[in-house]
Amino acid sequence: MKKEILFITVIGKDRKGIVANISNCLYKMNINIEDITQKIVRNYFVMAMLVDIKDANCSIEKISEQLQKIGKEMELIIQVQHENIFKMMHRI
């Protein structure tokens, strides 16, 4: 089955447990993490996770909902976006 890639962008203050909490949540939804990168951009901690949801046991809506919940608890902004939007905006 073809991969279906989502990007999870996390923006906020760096703290312990961000990766752990998100990874655990993704594991429960049977989502594979393919890559992680992070950086401080203009005083924000920014982390991007590239995940494959082809085997996920729930919809994108549910994935987004679960991650938003973590975002709220940890005071982080979490964006979930299909890779196509990045392909369109950043590649000709």
CB-based contacts of 74, cutoff 8 Å, min separation 6: 12, 15, 17, 18, 21
> CA quadruple 2, 81, 57, 51: dihedral positive or negative?
positive
Say whether 75 sits in a helix, a strand or coil.
coil
Among 29, 38, 52, 70, binds another protein (CB under 8 A): 38
- The answer to whether residue 25 forms part of the interface with another protein (CB under 8 A) is no
Quick check: 75 binds another protein (CB under 8 A)? no
Among 11, 25, 58, 74, binds another protein (CB under 8 A): 11
Q: Does 37 bind another protein (CB under 8 A)?
A: yes
Instruction: Enumerate binding residues for another protein (CB under 8 A).
Output: 7, 9, 11, 35, 37-39, 41, 44, 46, 48, 50, 60-61, 64, 77, 79-86, 88-90
